[in-house]
A and B are shown apart, each in its own frame.
Chain A
Amino acid sequence: MKVVAVIPARNESSRICRVLEEARPFTQNIIVVDDGSHDRTSDVAREAGAVVLRHQINRGQGAALKTGTLAALRHGADVIVHLDADGQHDPTAIPALIEPLQSGRADIVFGSRFLGLQPEDMPSWRRVLLHGGLVFNRLALGIPRRITDPQSGIRAMTANAAWRIPFSQDRMAHASEILRLVTRSTLRWTEVPVRVRYSAEVLAKGQRSADALSIVWELLLGAFQS
């Protein structure tokens, strides 16, 4: 099975090298989508041997993931893995993540931060915020209760599943949109525990309360538009 990782990146020249090194043993190809970076993210990724695509202007993580996913499909990928560029996601989780796809019991797998593995240094306010997101997803978007981590950025899917999820949210609402599209289709999904590594940098960059509100807003509007 050809496993291709898709990593959207914006101004991650300092961190992307490590992610690429760690992900390499578990993937046949790595596609980095440079989403309008101002630093040397593209060059660094290319030097590290990744296939690099570049959005000339920043369009958002969701947009970059979709571009990368389309490229991966054209590259002949059988399995596509989505990963963050800042090192938050531990690439050694990839084998566990794709196992349900390989054994044929699921079409798409989401990594969950809340299935038992303790996150390294997750601050309590963030835990509360994520839990709030969970409740919102269940109530407002009709996503089933079984999902434990609706905002997870790490996921794996078969090429067939990738074709059947035409998500279009450009920015941070894409995670919830993917979830909604999957649960309303006949695709079989499952969750796998993953460990997340939080550092001061990652926390500073991560989703703030304001972002959570804008995600809500984007999804509400998305519901009206589609």
Chain B
Amino acid sequence: MTVRRARQQAIRWLEALMWMLLWGGIGAVIWRPDATTAVARLVGIGRGADLMIYAAVIGLLIMVFQLHVAHGRIERQLTELVRKKTLDEWIGQ
């Protein structure tokens, strides 16, 4: 699915690679849940499941923030566009 999207140019290949790594990671965790416990102990968290949750929350928050900033930029561009049209129409009267 990810490869298909990359072929469609909906997302860049680098992004596709990152997403595939993510899907692969999730798949590995589902396949072998115990693997997460080993990593968790490295960081000092008791259970692998907890580590997954913390990582997911942090990752999601970062994503939301990026989306929000991007959204703000789009809104400002939209206003500039609307304003330009408004003023051009006014001058044209």
Contact = CB atoms under 8 A, between A and B. Distances in A.
Contacts of A203: none
Contacts of A168: 76
A71 B90 contact: yes
Contacts of B82: 55-57, 59, 63
A105 to B, nearest CB: 32
Interface residues of A, number: 20
Interface in A42-71: 51, 53-57, 59-60, 63, 66-67, 70-71
A170 interface: yes
B86 interface: yes
Nearest to B78: A59
B86 A67 contact: yes
Contacts of B86: 33, 53-56, 67
Contact of B87 (A67, A170, A221, A225): A67
Contacts of B50: none
- A interface: dominant SS: mixed
Nearest to A60: B79
B33 interface: no
B89 A54 contact: yes
Interface in B45-89: 68-69, 72, 75-76, 78-79, 82-83, 85-87, 89
Contacts of A70: 83, 87
19 contacts: A51-B90, A53-B89, A54-B86, A55-B83, A56-B86, A57-B82, A59-B78, A59-B82, A59-B83, A63-B79, A63-B82, A63-B83, A74-B91, A170-B75, A170-B79, A221-B68, A221-B69, A225-B69, A225-B72
